[in-house]
Structure formats: structure tokens, C-alpha cells
Structure 1
Amino acid sequence: MPTPPTSTKTSLGQRLNAHARERWPALAKVEVRFRGQFAYVDGRLPDGEVLPLFRLRYSGSASRWGFALYRASHDDYQDSYLPSGDTAGTPQEALDCACGLYLNDPTAWLPDTPTN
């Protein structure tokens, strides 16, 4: 089980926050915490509320991670498919998938969707 190096941890947070600013204005910030090979991603709303969104599994590549969606109904993470049909993809794809669900914007799952 490889664990992400410090440089990957830093760049992951930067990439997700940059993408959130472009595509998800309802989020004030994206917060990432690490445990072993996993990165847990939460969205912080402007009022301070924190939404658990998804978990990424590092497998040695900073650009392709395994994806697990947070299930509020079970308070856990379930390995899931991205809209592309893959179980792994970019962190930005994972953010779009989870925010499409939790911020109620299914256009995030459509190909070539213009950003807001």
C-alpha cells in the first residue's frame, strides 16, 4: 500500500481548491485529510457547515486515484463509479461527482459541461 508523498498531498489540496473555485462556488473551501493511502475530502460551506464528500485511494499516481463516495445514510465511504464508468480518475472528477450529488447539480455528470 503506497502512501502519497508530501508533495502529492500538498498538490492535491491545491488542485481541489482551485477546481472548486472554478466549478463549485457554493463551497467556501475544500479540506483534505490523509490517513495511510487514503485522502478524505470534505467541503466547507460559507456558513461553516462541513460536508463529507468522498475518499480517494492513492495507488502511486498523483493524477489517478480510486474513488469512494461518502454515504450519509451509513456514515461511511463506499467504492463507487465516476460518471465516466471508471472506479478511478482525477481528483477533479471525484469532486464533480460528489458535489453533483451533495450540492444537487447533476449537470456535473454530463460531458463537456460549461463551468459556472
Structure 2
Amino acid sequence: MPAIPASTRTSLAQRLYLHAKQHWPQLTDVHVRYRGPFGYVEGELANGDRLTLMRLRYGGSAHRWGPAIHTPSTGGYQDAIWFTGSPQEALDLVCDLYVSNSGS
């Protein structure tokens, strides 16, 4: 898998942050860290707690990512091979699971 270009890293983080700001007011920030072909996404709540949300696998383009949903019970990620949406839509999916029910 090709390395994630710096411009794509910046673009992804900005797109996710702006989407969260518009659609997920419970999140004060979105953090993305990178390792190899993966971007690991966390959402920050108003109290400073961070929720591990998902892992995105770079697909060779700024708009092609394969999401994996974080599974708190195992601490791992479950590939969502059935999912065909954008990173922002993947963020909505995981926020529906974890942020809506976070009690914040």
C-alpha cells in the first residue's frame, strides 16, 4: 500500500473536523494519527475525554478509504467491508454508535 501523502493527511483531518463541527456538537475536536497506510480517528468530548472511533485504510486517493470500526470490547478494529461511503459518512456511522450514547 502506498504511503499517505502529507496533503492527503491534512485534507482528511480537516474534512473530518469540519464535518464533526457541523454534525456532532458533542465533539470539540477530531484527532487523526497516522501509521503506515492507516489513519486512526478519535473524537474529543467537551470534558477532554477521547473516544477511539475508527481506523481508515488509505486506498491510494484522498477520497478512497476503507473504514474499520473500533470495538471497545476487544480494543481492536472490525473492517467494515460492506461500507462504501466517504470518511465523513464513516464518521457519522461511528458517532451514531459511540458519541450519541456517550452520555455527554
TM-score normalized by the length of structure 2:
0.92
Which of 73, 96, 99 aligns to 1:100? It is: 96
The AA in structure 1 aligned to 2:21 is R
Instruction: Give the RMSD, CA atoms, in angstroms.
Output: 1.3
Higher strand share: 2
Q: Does the alignment pair 1:58 with 2:58?
A: yes
Give 2:9's aligned residue. Answer: 9
Runs of 4+ in 1 over 4 A off after TM superposition: none
Distance 1:87 1:67, change over 3 A: same
Show CA shifts across 1:43-92 (max 9, x none). 000100000000000010111210100000000111025xxxx4343110
Which of 85, 89, 93 aligns to 1:89? It is: 85
CA distance in 1: counterparts of 2:59 and 2:65, whole angstroms: 7
Where do 5+ consecutive residues of structure 1 fail to align? 106-116
- Alignment size in residue pairs: 101
Show CA shifts across 1:12-67 (max 9, x none). 10000000000000000000000000000000001000000000000101112101
Give 2:34's aligned residue. Answer: 34
